[in-house]
Amino acid sequence: MDLKQYIRSVPNWPIEGVMFRDITTLLQHPEAFRYVCDELTSRYKEKKIDAVVGIEARGFIFGSVLAYNLGCSFVPIRKPGKLPGKTISEEYELEYGKNTLEIHEDAIEENQNIVIIDDLLATGGSLKAAINLEEKLKGNIVECAIVIELPELKGREKLGKHKIFKLIEF
Protein backbone atom coordinates (compact mmCIF):
# COMPACT_ATOMS: atom_id res chain seq x y z
CA MET A 1 0.00 0.00 0.00
CA ASP A 2 1.26 3.48 -0.83
CA LEU A 3 0.95 5.15 2.58
CA LYS A 4 2.29 8.49 1.33
CA GLN A 5 -1.05 9.28 -0.25
CA TYR A 6 -2.60 9.27 3.24
CA ILE A 7 -0.09 11.67 4.83
CA ARG A 8 -0.89 15.38 4.76
CA SER A 9 2.07 17.76 4.40
CA VAL A 10 1.64 21.05 6.26
CA PRO A 11 4.23 23.71 5.40
CA ASN A 12 5.54 26.09 8.06
CA TRP A 13 4.00 24.28 11.01
CA PRO A 14 4.55 24.49 13.96
CA ILE A 15 7.10 27.13 12.94
CA GLU A 16 8.34 28.76 9.74
CA GLY A 17 10.53 26.44 7.68
CA VAL A 18 9.22 23.12 9.04
CA MET A 19 7.31 20.77 6.73
CA PHE A 20 5.03 18.88 9.12
CA ARG A 21 3.93 15.35 8.13
CA ASP A 22 0.46 14.87 9.54
CA ILE A 23 -0.74 11.31 10.20
CA THR A 24 -4.27 12.32 11.20
CA THR A 25 -5.28 11.92 7.57
CA LEU A 26 -3.90 8.35 7.61
CA LEU A 27 -5.95 7.63 10.74
CA GLN A 28 -9.09 8.82 8.94
CA HIS A 29 -8.75 5.98 6.43
CA PRO A 30 -9.49 2.63 8.14
CA GLU A 31 -7.69 0.61 5.45
CA ALA A 32 -4.47 2.64 5.85
CA PHE A 33 -4.60 2.58 9.65
CA ARG A 34 -5.27 -1.17 9.62
CA TYR A 35 -2.39 -1.70 7.19
CA VAL A 36 0.08 0.11 9.48
CA CYS A 37 -1.12 -1.80 12.55
CA ASP A 38 -1.02 -5.14 10.70
CA GLU A 39 2.49 -4.50 9.37
CA LEU A 40 3.79 -3.66 12.83
CA THR A 41 2.07 -6.67 14.38
CA SER A 42 3.45 -9.00 11.73
CA ARG A 43 6.97 -7.68 12.29
CA TYR A 44 6.98 -8.24 16.06
CA LYS A 45 4.61 -11.16 16.70
CA GLU A 46 7.42 -13.75 16.85
CA LYS A 47 9.98 -11.58 18.69
CA LYS A 48 8.84 -12.23 22.30
CA ILE A 49 8.13 -8.59 23.08
CA ASP A 50 7.31 -7.88 26.75
CA ALA A 51 6.35 -4.22 26.37
CA VAL A 52 5.65 -1.66 23.67
CA VAL A 53 6.86 1.81 24.64
CA GLY A 54 4.99 4.64 22.92
CA ILE A 55 6.25 8.22 22.69
CA GLU A 56 3.66 10.93 23.34
CA ALA A 57 1.37 11.53 21.63
CA ARG A 58 1.10 9.80 18.28
CA GLY A 59 3.26 6.87 19.38
CA PHE A 60 0.38 6.05 21.74
CA ILE A 61 -1.95 5.42 18.82
CA PHE A 62 0.12 2.75 17.11
CA GLY A 63 1.80 1.51 20.28
CA SER A 64 -1.39 0.66 22.13
CA VAL A 65 -2.78 -1.27 19.16
CA LEU A 66 0.52 -3.13 18.79
CA ALA A 67 0.66 -3.99 22.50
CA TYR A 68 -2.92 -5.27 22.35
CA ASN A 69 -2.18 -7.38 19.28
CA LEU A 70 0.99 -8.80 20.85
CA GLY A 71 -0.63 -9.44 24.23
CA CYS A 72 1.99 -7.41 26.07
CA SER A 73 2.07 -4.25 28.15
CA PHE A 74 1.99 -0.71 26.84
CA VAL A 75 4.26 1.88 28.46
CA PRO A 76 3.74 5.60 27.79
CA ILE A 77 6.63 8.04 27.58
CA ARG A 78 5.18 11.47 28.24
CA LYS A 79 6.00 15.14 28.41
CA PRO A 80 6.79 16.53 31.89
CA GLY A 81 4.14 16.56 34.59
CA LYS A 82 1.78 14.09 32.88
CA LEU A 83 2.68 10.89 34.80
CA PRO A 84 1.44 10.60 38.40
CA GLY A 85 4.12 8.26 39.80
CA LYS A 86 7.84 8.67 40.35
CA THR A 87 9.57 9.33 37.03
CA ILE A 88 12.93 9.68 35.38
CA SER A 89 13.42 12.24 32.62
CA GLU A 90 15.55 13.03 29.59
CA GLU A 91 15.89 16.36 27.79
CA TYR A 92 16.25 16.54 24.01
CA GLU A 93 16.37 19.03 21.16
CA LEU A 94 13.76 19.47 18.44
CA GLU A 95 14.00 21.18 15.08
CA TYR A 96 12.39 24.13 16.82
CA GLY A 97 13.44 24.07 20.49
CA LYS A 98 13.94 21.77 23.47
CA ASN A 99 11.67 19.42 25.35
CA THR A 100 11.77 16.70 27.98
CA LEU A 101 10.32 13.20 28.14
CA GLU A 102 9.49 11.20 31.25
CA ILE A 103 8.74 7.58 32.09
CA HIS A 104 7.66 5.94 35.33
CA GLU A 105 10.76 4.55 36.98
CA ASP A 106 9.01 1.18 37.48
CA ALA A 107 7.58 0.93 33.94
CA ILE A 108 10.12 -1.56 32.60
CA GLU A 109 11.77 -4.47 34.35
CA GLU A 110 15.43 -5.13 33.73
CA ASN A 111 16.04 -7.15 30.53
CA GLN A 112 12.44 -6.96 29.32
CA ASN A 113 12.26 -7.06 25.52
CA ILE A 114 10.78 -3.81 24.28
CA VAL A 115 9.88 -2.02 21.09
CA ILE A 116 9.87 1.77 21.14
CA ILE A 117 7.33 3.26 18.74
CA ASP A 118 6.57 6.69 17.37
CA ASP A 119 4.92 8.08 14.28
CA LEU A 120 7.92 9.99 12.89
CA LEU A 121 11.70 10.10 12.92
CA ALA A 122 12.98 13.56 12.00
CA THR A 123 16.01 14.90 13.88
CA GLY A 124 16.02 11.91 16.23
CA GLY A 125 15.75 13.93 19.44
CA SER A 126 12.65 12.37 20.99
CA LEU A 127 13.54 8.84 19.91
CA LYS A 128 17.07 9.21 21.30
CA ALA A 129 15.60 10.51 24.58
CA ALA A 130 13.27 7.48 24.73
CA ILE A 131 16.21 5.15 24.07
CA ASN A 132 18.19 6.83 26.86
CA LEU A 133 15.26 6.40 29.26
CA GLU A 134 14.94 2.71 28.42
CA GLU A 135 18.67 2.21 28.84
CA LYS A 136 18.47 3.80 32.31
CA LEU A 137 15.78 1.24 33.16
CA LYS A 138 17.91 -1.54 31.63
CA GLY A 139 15.29 -2.68 29.15
CA ASN A 140 16.40 -4.69 26.11
CA ILE A 141 15.50 -2.57 23.10
CA VAL A 142 14.69 -5.05 20.33
CA GLU A 143 13.95 -2.32 17.81
CA CYS A 144 12.54 1.17 17.34
CA ALA A 145 9.55 1.35 15.00
CA ILE A 146 8.35 4.43 13.17
CA VAL A 147 5.73 5.02 10.54
CA ILE A 148 7.55 7.86 8.72
CA GLU A 149 11.23 8.71 8.42
CA LEU A 150 12.56 12.02 7.12
CA PRO A 151 16.07 10.87 6.13
CA GLU A 152 17.31 14.31 5.06
CA LEU A 153 17.20 15.38 8.74
CA LYS A 154 19.64 12.57 9.64
CA GLY A 155 17.86 11.53 12.84
CA ARG A 156 18.91 7.91 12.41
CA GLU A 157 22.55 8.95 12.85
CA LYS A 158 21.86 9.99 16.47
CA LEU A 159 20.53 6.56 17.40
CA GLY A 160 23.77 4.62 17.30
CA LYS A 161 23.55 0.84 17.26
CA HIS A 162 19.78 0.63 17.62
CA LYS A 163 17.76 -1.02 14.87
CA ILE A 164 15.15 1.18 13.24
CA PHE A 165 12.15 -0.11 11.31
CA LYS A 166 10.22 2.35 9.15
CA LEU A 167 7.21 1.94 6.94
CA ILE A 168 7.74 4.97 4.66
CA GLU A 169 10.06 7.90 4.13
CA PHE A 170 9.61 11.39 2.71
Q: Catalytic one among 21, 58, 78, 156? A: 58
Q: Catalytic one among 39, 43, 93, 95? A: 95
Catalytic status, residue 58: yes
Catalytic status, residue 95: yes
- Give the per-residue SS3 of the chain: CCHHHHCEEEECCCCCCCEEEECHHHHCCHHHHHHHHHHHHHHHCCCCCCEEEEECCHHHHHHHHHHHHHCCEEEEEECCCCCCCCEEEEEEEECCEEEEEEEECCCCCCCCEEEEEEEEECCCHHHHHHHHHHHHCCCEEEEEEEEEECHHHCHHHHHCCCCEEEEEEC
**Residues labelled catalytic:** 58, 95
